[in-house]
Amino acid sequence: MTVTSLDKLGPRRDRPFWATLLLVALFGLFGVLGTYTGNAVFKSFANLRAMVVITAGLFGGPGVGFGVGFIAGAHRYLIDIGGFSALPCGLATMLEGAAAGMIARRYPGNSLNWRLAMALCLVGETLHMGLVLLFSHPVEEAVALVQVIALPMIVFNSLGAGLFVKALDLQTRFKRALDRDLARQILSIANQTVGHLRAGLTEASARATAAIIMHEAQVAAVAVTSGQTILAHAGEGQDHHVGGGQVLTQATQRVIETG
C-alpha cells in the first residue's frame, strides 16, 4: 500500500463503503492464506491467522474486523467441517476480528498501537486455546494439541500483529507529517504573497509571487497567468515562457483548466 492509498483506506469515519469492502477482501484473503501457511498438527492447524484479523480490526474498525474475522473463520470451519478443532478455531477467529474492531472504535486515532495489538493477540489466542479445550473431543487429544501449538501460536501471532500494526502506524504518521508540512508551506506562501497581491494581480506582483513560490516549494518552475496570458514565469522554460506572452504548452493549459 502506498501512503496515499493508505490514507484513503485507513481508519477514517468518513471512509467510503467501497474502501471498507476492499479492506475486508484484502485482509480476508491474507487471513485465508494465514491458515494455509500453517502446519498440520494432531488433525488441526498451527497458523498465523490471528495476527491478520486483529490487525484488520485495529486498522479498519468494527466493520472490517467483523468481515475479515468472518471470512477467515468461516473458511477455517468449511475446509474441515466437523473436524477435530474446526468449530473452536473458526469461532475464535471471528471473535478476535470483532474484538479488535470494537477496540478500534473505542480508541479512535490511537488503535494502531503495537503494544495493544500484541496484548489483544495474546488474549485472543489464549481464548482460542481455551475454546479448543472446551469444544474439541476427545479431551485427551485436545490437551495434547494445545500443549504443542499454544506457545508458538501465541508468540508468533502476537509478534506478527505487533510488527504489522507498527508498520501501518509508521505509514499513517508519515502521511500526517507530510500533510502538516504542506499546510505550513501553504501558509508561509500566503503570508509572503499577500502584501504583493493586495493591490491586484499585475506583472510586478506576479513576478514577486512566482519567486516566493519557487523558493518555498522548491519546484522546477512556476508560472502565474491570467488564464491565457503569462504574467510571470520563473525557473525552467523561462527562455520561451515570456511575461506578457500567450500560454504556449498544452501541459500549462491543462493545469489551468483542471487546477
Summarised one tens digit per residue, pLDDT across range 229-257 is 778 878 877 666 666 666 656 666 676 66
pLDDT at 182: 85
Residue 119: count other Cβ atoms within 10 Å of its Cβ: 15
The C-alpha cell of 91 is what? 469461532
26 C-beta neighbours (distance < 10 Å), count:
16
Q: Total domain count for the chain?
A: 2
pLDDT of residue 126: 97
Degrees to nearest 5, angle at CA 130 with 124 and 131: 90
Spatial distance between the Cα atoms of 53 and 11, rounded to a whole number of angstroms? 15
List Cβ neighbours of 226 (8 Å cut-off, separation of 6 or more).
Answer: 201
Residue 184 lies in a domain: no
Q: What is the pLDDT of residue 15?
A: 83
For residue 43, name the pLDDT band (cuts at 50, 70, 90): low
Does the predicted model carry a pTM greater than 0.85? no
Domain that holds residue 203: 199-258
Same domain, 99 and 222: no
Pair (7, 134) in one structural domain: yes
Q: How far is CA 124 from the centre of its chain?
A: 23
> Mean pLDDT of all residues in the chain?
86
